Amino acid sequence: MLLLSIIVLPLLAAILLALLGGGRAVARWVALLTAIGTLLVSLGIASQLKVARDGHRTNTTDRPVDGPVQPRLEWRRTWMTLGNIAQKPAQLTDFEFDADSGDPSDVVDGSERIRTGDTRKALLHRMGFVNGDERVQLNDTQLAELRDAGIVRREASVRLEFYLGADGISVLMLALTAILTISAVLISWESIQDRAAEFYLCLLLLEAGMLGAFVAFDLILFYVFFEFTLIPLFFLVGIWGGAQRQFAAYRFFIYTLAGSVITLLGLVALVLKVMETGLTATPFSIPDIAAALKEHPLSDQWQIGLLLALSAGFVIKVPLFPFHTWLPLAHTEAPTAGSVLLAGILLKLGCYGFLRICLPILPAAVAGFGVPIYATMAVIGIVYGALGALAQSDIKKLVAYSSVSHLGFCMLGMFALNSEGITGAVMQMVNHGLSTGALFLLVGMVYDRYHTRELSELGGLATRLPLLSVCMVFICMASAGLPGLNGFVGELLALIGMFKANPIYAAIGATGVVLGAWYLLDMLRRAFFGPLKEPASVHGPILDINMREALSVVPLMALCLWIGVFPKPLLDTIEEDVRAVVKMYPPSAPAKSEFADAKQTTQETLISVDRRE
């Protein structure tokens, strides 16, 4: 129930705002209270999860408990059932001959060579199941036999569900979303003057969308939320953004949408493929698909095709090199709150998609085909993003490029395909959310004061804004991966995981750590140290960080320190669920051979069925 309420709460508040409107004062308080409420709900989910971990799994299906995706909390409601095989006697019309999943080459059946589909028809004929076009009653044993042989599939009997869940990975992302939304509301408190009610409406809608994507364990639901986030962000950038806001909004909207459409195609293909096999009655449920395909993997070609299609949206969202060019523009034009949520949460949806969908469902393709491609892209992204950041003179753009670099670490860890790497990747997702979120907040504070983010116009701000500078140095250190702060934990695990899998990638990736220190400290040196330099146009007193601003950024700093010093609780939470995914990728025998074995078994069964005649 909490799972549902975490989405409904911000949605309701958004609807309230839309209906009642209200002034700036009302709107921002509504938004703040809602954000705090969602944080509490997410903490509630976390505590339930802790209870659930101690043996009380709320498993509502007969799915084996060792599937690669295992929500520890579930909330699922069927809202439509298409076809229902259980109540009707089994008739041949309920089955179709499977022409796809078998061997595409011709099958030798006695002396005659017949096309695959025909073979099976003839086979059934000879087995006495079919006489001409007659309908024949099959008993359950026969049915199971045929299904095991891969000859028949169940006709579409599909439950459409509203399937929410949470595990250790998603619960962290939920909490992160809630925390960053609070910060986003606080930082917009004064700076958003126009159409405040609409602004907070969009912010809450965005939060609902992001939370929804993290609790969705249903493919369609996930996709809907994944895409839905674009709409409020489009308005946030397009209405409350900087000078080039409309161009930026259109570009990022269309670019990410184009990718997502391909992802949608992949999802549809995946669902149809799963329906064909008839292995599960809930072909939209990610855990069920993953568990089913673990036993009966798809063919190599299908997996690769699906991986390419599914990842199209994800690589753009992450963004992996070379699909990152929308990001700096969107960041520079977005209002501070938009940047915080965009960098902090939205980008993670890409990584999360990889982790939730691609890794558990398409192991053969990921291990054989995906690793060289995505890991290379990730490594290039790390170095390229860092170099890009080094060349920027706009602080916000610098931070945007640093995101490209940091998310490269996420993907690098993820495609290490071992426990350390993936745990590190999830950790890095959280860390990047905290530290880059905080960086954007601080840059926003500087911008609110000086209306510029150009490094050439600023200098020595530490003299004028000592507390803000302390925060800035702290967060830069966290972002540069200083041990004792959060960034180090994620980068260390991601790199060490990759080092185990492939030292070359890790070594190149580690240069990103050197460059990371370079560009961040260079930014600090130019903007915050040296003699004071302020833009001439500034009038009035420039005050140091105030209470409201401190409230938005200090909790993030505290979390950075806590994670850096005591990472174990978080790592344990993550790793338990990562381990299930990692099981798909045994280090000695790659998933591909598993797949080959499975295929062979199917054929053997077929032959044995054949002989029974």
Instruction: Using CB under 8 A, list all residues that contact other proteins.
Output: 251, 254-255, 322, 324-325, 328, 384, 387-388, 390-392, 418-420, 423, 460, 462-463, 473, 477, 482-484, 488-489, 492-493, 495-496, 499-500, 503, 506-507, 510-511, 513-515, 517-518, 521-522, 524-525, 528-532, 566-568, 571-572, 575, 579, 582
CA distance 436 to 326: 17
Minimum distance between the CB of residue 527 and other proteins, rounded to whole angstroms? 11
Please state the separation of Cα 206 from the chain's center in Å.
Answer: 15
CB of 577 to other proteins, least distance (A): 13
Q: Which residues pair with 80 in a beta bridge?
A: 160
**Burial (CB count within 10 angstroms: exposed 0-12, middle 13-18, buried 19+), residue 405:** buried
Considering beta carbons, is residue 347 or 524 the nearer one to other proteins? 524
DSSP run (H or E) holding 446: helix 419-450
Distance in angstroms (rounded) separating the CA atoms of residues 109 and 112: 6
Instruction: Work out how close the CB of 593 gets to other proteins at its nearest, in angstroms, rounded to a whole number.
Output: 22
CB of 463 to other proteins, least distance (A): 6
The C-alpha atoms of residue 228 and residue 222 are separated, in whole angstroms, by 10
Structure tokens at 103: 């061997």
356 alpha-carbon distance from chain centroid: 7
CA nearest 530: which of 522, 541, 538? 522
Identity of the residue, 40 or 510, whose beta carbon is nearer to other proteins in the bound complex: 510
Find the shortest distance in angstroms from Cβ 566 to other proteins.
8
Strand segments (E) across 265-410: none
For other proteins, give the closer residue by CB, 532 or 543.
532
Is residue 415 within 8 Å of residue 358, measured between CB atoms? no
Q: Minimum Å distance from CB 567 to other proteins?
A: 5
Length of the chain: 613
Question: What spatial distance separates the first Cα and last Cα of the chain, rounded to whole Å?
Answer: 54
Nearest CB to other proteins, comparing residues 82 and 507: 507
Q: Which amino acid is located at 63 in the chain?
A: R
Question: Taking the complex as a whole, how short is the minimal distance between the CB of residue 399 and other proteins, in angstroms?
Answer: 15
Q: At 253, list the tokens.
A: 């909207």
Least Cβ distance, residue 535 to other proteins (angstroms): 19
- Shortest CA distance to 28 belongs to which of 200, 148, 180? 200
For residues 152 and 99, give the distance between their C-alpha atoms in angstroms, rounded to a whole number. Answer: 9
Closer residue to other proteins, CB minimum distance, 215 or 559: 559
